[in-house]
């Protein structure tokens, strides 16, 4: 073998930790992590979620404590979900000023609104007795335009409670435009919109259904995207941008990195990704069996999502990872 072979030696830059640190292309920052949080009406203590070890349904008291932990960890924000005691066909709890999500939002805005971006899930599924993201027509189908009226009222209730960023996760046509117009008319021009633009009908939402005690029978395939469709994801992103979304989201994250990369390449607004409950549960479960290195798997999953193009990531590990970054 001649001394000069091979001429190209890519391993030089991997030879030692200092080299690897210096040549690293993607870095996680605590400020780009958002923590989803569940708040349960009537709860007197935190209630564990079996399929999401380490994640709980908060009481209003434990919510406060966790909000301050989140702020101290330096993450970017929190996304609040409500778990109401009573559900009905219209999802009345979503728009009531004393509904659990609106009450929790007021608390979050007051406690940490200056340090974190306080965000709220704008969708009816936690509040409807049938579990769908919208209201139903007489034939039992999800009625797009009747749902938009509910979303408009929900947006106003959330803005009044102090939400700074509304997470439009219902996948109704026209939802971003309708909510933007309603907020502007009511003087909430500063409230921003996060459009779950490309949200797929995914099996990876399974543990979330336990987390919010969903009453859904059937599935959401008439409104969420078919997992097979990449072009359609790009179309939904473009529609939400045109309707006035301030940020667009791809969800889930790990099985949709191509959709995420497409959005990152074309979107004029920030692109976020949601590492959903099933993605969390899979890593926790495998780690609990000793089958993977838990911390490395978590960090690798997140760096992969950011490498694919996410500007920020919703993840149930937000505080843990932020604290790890701070120690590194
Ligand atoms: C709908 C909503 C869902 C999730 C976030 N918002 C559930 C669904 O669409 O079925 C899932 C989040 C997760 O799985 O972590 N309000």
- Cis preceding-peptide flag for 59 (omega within 30 of 0): no
| Alpha-carbon gap, residue 54 to 49, rounded angstroms | 8
Does ligand 1 come within 6 angstroms of the Cβ of 208?
A: yes
Q: Which of 94, 123, 215 to mutate to test the pocket of ligand 1 (most atoms within 8 A of CB)?
A: 123
Q: Is residue 251 annotated as a catalytic residue, yes or no?
A: yes
- Residues 282-301 have a mean pLDDT of 98
Give the model's pLDDT for residue 301.
98
Q: Kindly report the protein residue whose alpha carbon is nearest to atom 8 of ligand 1.
A: 205
pLDDT digits (tens, 9 = 90+) for 113-165: 999 999 999 999 999 999 999 999 999 999 999 999 999 999 999 999 999 99
Least Cα distance to 267 among 254, 288, 250 occurs for 250
**What is the Å distance from ligand 1's center to 1 Cα?**
58
Contacts (Cβ under 8 Å, ≥6 apart) of 47: 40, 56, 57
Least Cα distance to 322 among 53, 78, 119 occurs for 78
Confidence at 217, pLDDT banded by 50, 70, 90: confident
**What is the Å distance from ligand 1's center to 301 Cα?**
19
**What is the Å distance from ligand 1's center to 90 Cα?**
18
Answer with the residue of higher pLDDT: 209 or 95. Answer: 95
What is the Cα gyration radius of the chain? Answer: 21
Does ligand 1 come within 6 angstroms of the Cβ of 169?
A: yes
If you count them, how many residues does the chain have? Answer: 328
Does ligand 1 come within 6 angstroms of the Cβ of 279?
A: no
Is the pLDDT score of 213 beyond 80?
A: yes
Does ligand 1 come within 6 angstroms of the Cβ of 121?
A: yes
pLDDT digits (tens, 9 = 90+) for 20-77: 999 999 999 999 999 999 999 999 999 999 999 999 999 999 999 999 999 999 999 9
pLDDT digits (tens, 9 = 90+) for 71-116: 999 999 999 999 999 999 999 999 999 999 999 999 999 999 999 9
Q: Is residue 199 annotated as a catalytic residue, yes or no?
A: yes
| Mean pLDDT score of the chain | 97
Give the model's pLDDT for residue 2.
61
**What is the Å distance from ligand 1's center to 22 Cα?**
38
Give the model's pLDDT for residue 1.
55
Does ligand 1 come within 6 angstroms of the Cβ of 277?
A: yes
Q: Which of 200, 205, 213 to mutate to test the pocket of ligand 1 (most atoms within 8 A of CB)?
A: 205
Q: Kindly report the protein residue whose alpha carbon is nearest to atom 16 of ligand 1.
A: 123
Least Cα distance to 212 among 140, 124, 150 occurs for 124
Is the pLDDT score of 215 beyond 90?
A: no
**What is the Å distance from ligand 1's center to 114 Cα?**
27
Catalytic residue among 40, 58, 152, 251: 251
Does ligand 1 come within 6 angstroms of the Cβ of 119?
A: no
């Amino acid at each position: 073998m001649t001394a000069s072979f091979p001429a190209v030696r890519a391993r030089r830059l991997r030879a030692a930790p200092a080299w690897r640190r210096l040549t690293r292309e993607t870095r996680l920052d605590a400020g780009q992590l958002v923590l989803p949080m569940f708040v349960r009406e009537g709860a007197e203590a935190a209630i564990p979620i079996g399929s999401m070890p380490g994640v709980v349904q908060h009481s209003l008291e434990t919510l406060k404590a966790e909000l301050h932990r989140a702020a101290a960890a330096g993450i970017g924000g929190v996304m609040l979900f409500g778990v109401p005691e009573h559900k009905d066909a219209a999802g009345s709890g979503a728009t009531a000023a004393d509904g659990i999500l609106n009450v929790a939002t007021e608390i979050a805005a007051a406690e940490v609104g200056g340090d974190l971006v306080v965000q709220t899930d704008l969708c009816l599924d936690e509040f409807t007795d049938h579990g769908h993201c919208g209201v139903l027509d007489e034939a039992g189908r999800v009625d797009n335009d009747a749902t938009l009226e509910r979303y408009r009222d929900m947006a106003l209730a959330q803005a009044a409670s102090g939400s700074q960023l509304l997470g439009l996760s219902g996948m109704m046509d026209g939802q971003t435009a309708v909510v933007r117009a309603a907020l502007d008319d009511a003087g909430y021009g500063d409230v921003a919109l996060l459009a779950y633009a490309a949200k797929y009908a995914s099996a990876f939402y399974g543990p979330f259904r336990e987390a919010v005690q969903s009453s859904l029978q059937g599935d959401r395939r008439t409104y969420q995207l078919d997992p097979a469709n990449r072009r359609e994801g790009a179309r939904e992103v473009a529609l939400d941008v045109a309707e006035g979304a301030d940020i667009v989201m791809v969800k889930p994250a790990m099985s949709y990195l191509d959709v995420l990369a497409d959005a990152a390449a074309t979107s004029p607004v920030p692109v976020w990704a949601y590492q959903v409950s099933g993605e969390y549960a899979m890593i926790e479960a495998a780690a609990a069996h000793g089958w993977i290195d838990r911390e490395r798997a978590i960090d690798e999953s997140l760096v992969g999502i950011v490498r694919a193009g996410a500007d920020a990531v919703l993840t149930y590990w937000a505080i843990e990872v932020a604290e790890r970054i701070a120690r590194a």
